[in-house]
Structure 1
């Protein structure tokens, strides 16, 4: 079992149950999935970019990514319907907890000029989204082997009913929010 999952089950869930004044431990909000997305608008000109981004995401997550395609043509962006424009990975269960553990303990401290995560990036339903400007903050990525610095979006989907419950859950995981 993943280290963070074990900590959540044995320590954080009972504490959150008391803090949020819930009747049952099954009502405690939990993280259901983590989605990593790389939007690659520049992939229109070079198809190799998609392959490199897929390889990067696979190294970061340990799971094969899925190519996302444009849904309609937009002349201003010079894209056509059905062209590959991004890559995404959805993590659940043990892989999700292992990724979350690596993100909090290794990757976020490696961000240059890191002042904390934006506490207002909740969506109103307890889910949290954040952006990473460079994929090299992850130790799995070798700086000498990348072709370009790419950012990615990380979304944590939770069972929280509102932002307060979501914030309490992420604070229990010791997310470094800005004050």
Structure 2
């Protein structure tokens, strides 16, 4: 009789274990479902917030984009004046400014590499665009220069930034040069492109004199589509470049 009771007890125990496992599995599934519901609710709420923020941004009026003043001057005044002076019959013949390259050479950076960082920040503040670091292509032992060492920074400006930089250069920066009597007309290369040398970067109002470690010069190259120096000079003169007489 005792053996039969033990045999009967075993299947009862096994059935009880299965029921316990089923209860645990049901609880786990319930927890997973509740977690899934909470996550889906959170995602829906976040999506709703994103939609609201986008809708609010769309409702707020956008700031008016002010076109570059120098570009408007080129279209309204320079084009008619150049057409009248040179007798252009096709609008494609009109010379225009294609790009402006600002280059700052740093020979002292060989001994003091930290000058490159400050030069990058200064050119970025002046032009509104991060410059590229120029590196040496050849090693020169007399100057302790190795291949790949940084020797300067430069930036190429086009479109709106080009026009804005030219506007600030002509109307703000050049008049702040000490004893300024005009720029030299000898900076043309024979193909209508003009290069201007500046001795100090502090003539630009974006540079804080108290925060710079030293004054540095730079070259500004204005690349035009003019075929001759005469056309290039006439173009820059109409834009307001104060050439020395």
Task: Please indicate the TM-score interval, normalised by the length of the shorter structure.
Answer: over 0.9
Corresponding residue number in structure 2 for 1:36: 102
**1:108 Cα shift?**
0.2
1:130-145 alignment to 2 at 5 Å? 130-145=196-211
- Kindly report the root-mean-square deviation, in angstroms, between the aligned alpha carbons of the 2 structures: 0.8
Q: Per the alignment, in what secondary structure is the counterpart of residue 58 of structure 1? A: helix
Runs of 4+ in 1 over 3 A off after TM superposition: none
Number of aligned pairs? 179
String of CA shifts for 1:126-179, please: whole Å, max 9, x gaps. 000011000000000000000110000000000000101101101111211111
Work out whether 1:22 is the aligned partner of 2:88.
yes
Corresponding residue number in structure 2 for 1:177: 243
Aligned with residue 129 of structure 2, among 45, 51, 63: 63
String of CA shifts for 1:95-148, please: whole Å, max 9, x gaps. 000000000110000000111101111000000001100000000000000011
Q: Give unpaired runs (5+ residues) of structure 2.
A: 1-66
Corresponding residue number in structure 2 for 1:158: 224
Residue 73 of structure 2 contacts residue 239 of structure 2 at CA under 8 Å; is this kept in 1?
no
Residue 14 of structure 1 contacts residue 25 of structure 1 at CA under 8 Å; is this kept in 2?
no
How does the TM-score come out when normalised to structure 1?
A: 0.98
Q: Per the alignment, in what secondary structure is the counterpart of residue 100 of structure 2? A: strand
**1:76 Cα shift?**
2.4
Residue 124 of structure 2 contacts residue 131 of structure 2 at CA under 8 Å; is this kept in 1?
yes
Q: Give unpaired runs (5+ residues) of structure 1.
A: none
Following the alignment from structure 2 to structure 1, what is the Cα–Cα distance between the partners of residues 207 and 95? 32
Corresponding residue number in structure 1 for 2:53: none
Corresponding residue number in structure 2 for 1:96: 162
Following the alignment from structure 1 to structure 2, what is the Cα–Cα distance between the partners of residues 75 and 159? 40
**1:77 Cα shift?**
2.1
**1:14 Cα shift?**
1.9
Q: Per the alignment, in what secondary structure is the counterpart of residue 143 of structure 1? A: coil
Work out whether 1:73 is the aligned partner of 2:146.
no
Structure showing the higher helix proportion among its residues? 2
Following the alignment from structure 2 to structure 1, what is the Cα–Cα distance between the partners of residues 171 and 84? 26
**1:21 Cα shift?**
1.2
How does the TM-score come out when normalised to structure 2?
A: 0.72
The structure having more radius of gyration, on CA atoms, is 2
Corresponding residue number in structure 1 for 2:192: 126
**1:26 Cα shift?**
2.1
Q: Per the alignment, in what secondary structure is the counterpart of residue 210 of structure 2? A: helix
Q: Per the alignment, in what secondary structure is the counterpart of residue 19 of structure 1? A: helix
